[in-house]
Amino acid sequence: MLFPDYRPRRLRQNEGFRRMIRETSLSSNDLILPLFAIGGKGVKNPIESMPGHYQLSIDNLVKKAKEAYELGIPAVMLFGIPEKKDPLATSAYAKNGIVQKATSELKKKISDLVVITDVCLCQYTDHGHCGIVDGRIIDNDATLDLLARTALSHAKAGADMVAPSDMMDGRVAEIRNVLDENDCSNIPIMSYAAKYCSAYYGPFRHAADSAPKFGDRRTYQMDPANSLEAVREVTMDIEEGADIIMIKPALSYLDVICRIRDEIDLPLAAYNVSGEYAMIKAADKMGWIDGKKVMMETLTSIKRAGADMILTYFAVEAAKELRRL
Ligand code: PBG
Ligand code: ZN
């Protein structure tokens, strides 16, 4: 099909044709809004590097979640900022922990909203690592039990789904077992299966106060240079019982999303992370790009690469834009 027989521009000449041949569509159903819960009342601490996002006390968090839900966003992902940190991350699995309280309040006030909880220890350990440490070593197997306790406490508080983001080996199986043994066999696991050791997490670590106090996360998060290893990580998590697979970050890893989409048939999520959000917001503020258009193009590209759902700080803005279009 060569020119002049085939003229690709024929089907680009009006919006009707363009709509008819559009291959990818973005919907508010695809979006998951991350939220940061903190103690207190009436608290709304701006996160400087993530304009439009705040550490929210539960009353304000419920308001934000309601706004999102009413815009057609089916789910939120909850992160907690605890009052106290210690070596064993006890606030992560405390019955009255911040995520546990926020979860039960959300389910009480907006019962049909899907509440997903991030399961990790880094916001709760005094050293900021995702696992417990022995000297300077992150102790994989000693961490598993604490992660499972955290996941179970979220489920008992009413979480609809748990999402381990720690990257310890074997944590999906451990969480699955503990959930199953405690009458939570119906709670799905969204696994951060291929989570890269990325500099794009910078703004999040300010927001969640979770930067490691020594070293970095290279002994547990993946090397950005690897893609075959993502296949191994994803395969393992599926065998261990994951229900949804996540790739994180999204934009520098669209090839990984595409590859995993080709190889597996589970629902696939991508995390459009804090640094990806911050870059667009910053360039928009400078007047260098049209932030709204770049947002829609970015989210569409993540879906085109193969993601079924996108965790994104743009969720509310994008849902508003979709409503307007
Ligand atoms: C840690 C965690 C991170 C994010 C979510 N959970 C990053 C990290 O510090 O390794 C990043 C999210 C983002 O940047 O938006 N378990
Ligand atoms: Zn962590």
Domain boundaries, the chain: 25-324
**pLDDT beyond 90 at 268:** yes
Smallest-distance ligand from the CA of 163 = 1
Give the residue from 237, 297, 226 showing the smallest Cα distance to 267: 237
The pTM assigned to this predicted structure is 0.98
Q: Whose CA is nearest to atom 7 of ligand 1?
A: 201
195 is catalytic: yes
Taking the centre of ligand 1 as the mean of its atom positions, its distance from the CA of residue 230, in whole angstroms, is 17
Taking the centre of ligand 2 as the mean of its atom positions, its distance from the CA of residue 128, in whole angstroms, is 8
Taking the centre of ligand 1 as the mean of its atom positions, its distance from the CA of residue 197, in whole angstroms, is 10
Bridge partners (DSSP) of residue 247 are: 194, 270
Give the residue from 302, 278, 293 showing the smallest Cα distance to 324: 293
Catalytic residue among 44, 95, 195, 293: 195
CATH of 25-324, one of 3.40.50.880, 3.20.20.70, 1.20.1050.140, 3.40.50.2020: 3.20.20.70
For residue range 62-78, what is the model confidence (pLDDT) as tens digits? 999 999 999 999 999 99
| CA distances in angstroms from 298 to 21, 41, 240, listed in the order given | 19, 35, 32
Within 8 A by CB and 6+ apart from 303, the residues are 24, 25, 26, 30, 310
Let me know: does 127 contact 138? Beta carbons within 8 Å: no
Once rounded to an integer, what is the mean pLDDT over residues 45-70? 98
Q: Whose CA is nearest to atom 6 of ligand 1?
A: 165
Q: Which atom of ligand 1 is nearest to the CA of 203?
A: 14
Instruction: Name every protein residue with a CB atom under 6 angstroms from any ligand 1 atom.
Output: 118, 120, 122, 130, 165-166, 201, 204-205, 210, 217, 273-274
For residue range 81-93, what is the model confidence (pLDDT) as tens digits? 999 999 999 999 9
List phi, psi (to 5°) of 310: -130, 125
Task: Find where tokens 């995390």 sit.
Answer: 271
Give the residue from 293, 299, 297, 325 showing the smallest Cα distance to 312: 299
Task: Find where tokens 């044709």 sit.
Answer: 17
User: What does the alpha-carbon distance between residue 28 and residue 58 come to, in Å, rounded to a whole number?
Assistant: 24
